[in-house]
Amino acid sequence: MPFIIAIDGPAASGKGTIARALAAHFGFHHLDTGLLYRAVGAKGGDPVAAARTLEKTDLSRPDLRSAEAGQAASRIAAIPEVRAALLAFQHRFAGQEPGAVLDGRDIGTVICPGAPVKLYVTASDQVRAQRRAAELGADPVLMLAELQERDRRDRERATAPLRPAEDAVVLDTSNLTITDAIARAVAVVDRARG
């Protein structure tokens, strides 16, 4: 049985950084599921059709990291048929030996509810806005508004809203360096693996 690590959290909380580091540390596969929604949003046209025909090459589009792509992603991510169309790919990915790390919004609650490790990564709105602004070379004030709008949409949607699974370990990275955040996440996984 492959070992699954489910990581969720709001925008720019550090989930991707932690997910990549855990995958490297344990030799697991890693999927940034946000890229699936960003790619569907960026394709334009009918989002359900785009989700059904998504190709690997769509995920390496260089423009997917932008704030605009994030906004487009969160709009189409509220459509249940889009989410349903992306389910099989995520389940197949999670089934790979020896294990997989998936990060997103609904991994612990919907995609892999049986995962033995669930992390909910968070940080204050201000810290997240600062980090994303530094990453994109953007204005922190505009970033704050962008992240808050997206988080609200992600939390309030009816299908697969952003929320910690009941059995998730919450990791607040507001005052943690990347190294410390990764060390805590590794410790959680080590504990679960026994």
Which residues would be at the binding site for ligand CDP (CB under 6 A)?
A: 9, 11-17, 33-34, 37-38, 70, 73-74, 77, 104-106, 131-132, 135, 150, 154, 173, 176, 178, 181
Q: Decide the pairing of beta strands 99-104 and 117-122.
A: unpaired
Residue 114 structure tokens: 């049986």
Query: Helix count (H) and strand count (E) of the chain?
Result: 9, 5
> Whose Cβ is closer to ligand CDP: residue 34's or residue 47's?
34
Instruction: Tell me whether residue 66 is annotated as binding.
Output: no
Output 99 or 133, the one with its CB closest to ligand CDP: 133
The pair of structure tokens assigned to 86 is: 């992306």
Least distance between ligand CDP and beta carbon 27 (Å):
20
The response to whether 15 counts as a known ligand-binding position is yes
Distance, CA of 5 to CA of 68 (rounded, Å): 29
Question: For 137, phi and psi rounded to 5 degrees?
Answer: 65, 40
- Smaller CB distance to ligand CDP: residue 14 or 99? 14
- Residue ranges for the known binding site for ATP are 9-17
